[in-house]
Amino acid sequence: MDLPLFSNAESPRFKVRKTGLTRFLSMGCLALVLGACSVPGPGGAPGGIHDPYEETNRRNHELNRAIDRGLVRPAGKGYTSILPDPVGETVSNFGANLSLPGTVVNNLLQGDLGGALQNTYRFAFNTVFGIGGLGDPAGELGITEVEADFGGTLHVWGVPEGAYVELPVLGPSTERDAVGRVVDLFTNPLSYTLPKPEKYYGTAARAAAKLRNRGRFSDTVDSVLHESADSYSQSRLIYLQNRRFELGGNDDDAYIDPYDDPYGELYDDPNSE
């Protein structure tokens, strides 16, 4: 009786795993290639802001403001007004729980074994005792998420921040974080193991969570995007300061003096005439 050689290699399950691994390795190579982000020359980033693409960024910013005004803002307000807050919280919990395996991957890539173990335990605990992640009993016990993404992984690997960019629809970013966002689409192991349409539930829940946040913090977002004198400069400043703080930059790296903004006046000098 002849047995086919490498029969396991030809099985559908093996092909799925092989395809998933190939995609992940390909995206990792892409990240390393694109990770050669632009670095300002001496004195090229006064005030800590490197924005050589400002003209394009401002056009994208106006596009994003129009999308927010015409679609995202009313949808966010409608979402929070129609759905009770406990229901919205449940949807947010579900999306956050399904994203945790991808976070664990980045914890490991960053050499943070403790964070990986904590996030793995949080995922398992909430999946079992939180009814698939709809609840957050782990959080109630103080088992919080140790956040990580591939942009942060590139930071740990020594890839420079690069220039500031504003992406259409996605909003503020940097060259390094833009690459990280692409790779993060492929780092979650659940995307290779869950069948359709279940594999898309997490993405839908996270999108709903963003709409909920837009509705909950509507006044704050409106004050930046639609009421400030220069919403582009203010959005850029807020993003860069928050992102550098998240990545553990020291005070000198994270702080940007708003009075030393070389690309746009964010505040008026109270001492000026």
pLDDT at residue 37 greater than cutoff 80: no
- Of 238, 228, 221, 230, nearest to 263 by C-alpha is 230
pLDDT score at 263 = 35
- To 10 degrees, what angle do helices 201-216 and 218-225 make? 80
Q: pTM of the entire structure?
A: 0.80
Pair of tokens at residue 50: 């490197």
Q: How far is CA 168 from CA 56, 114, 165, 184, 233, in A?
A: 10, 36, 10, 18, 16
pLDDT at residue 39 greater than cutoff 70: yes
pLDDT score at 269 = 39
Q: Kindly report, residue by residue over 233-245, the tens digit of the pLDDT.
A: 999 999 999 999 9
Q: Kindly report, residue by residue over 185-233, the tens digit of the pLDDT.
A: 999 999 999 998 988 999 999 999 999 999 999 999 999 999 999 999 9
224 and 238 Cβ atoms separated by less than 8 Å: yes
Determine the average pLDDT of the residues in 163-178: 97
Determine the average pLDDT of the residues in 105-125: 98
pLDDT score at 102 = 97
- Of 43, 59, 129, 56, nearest to 93 by C-alpha is 129
pLDDT at residue 268 greater than cutoff 70: no
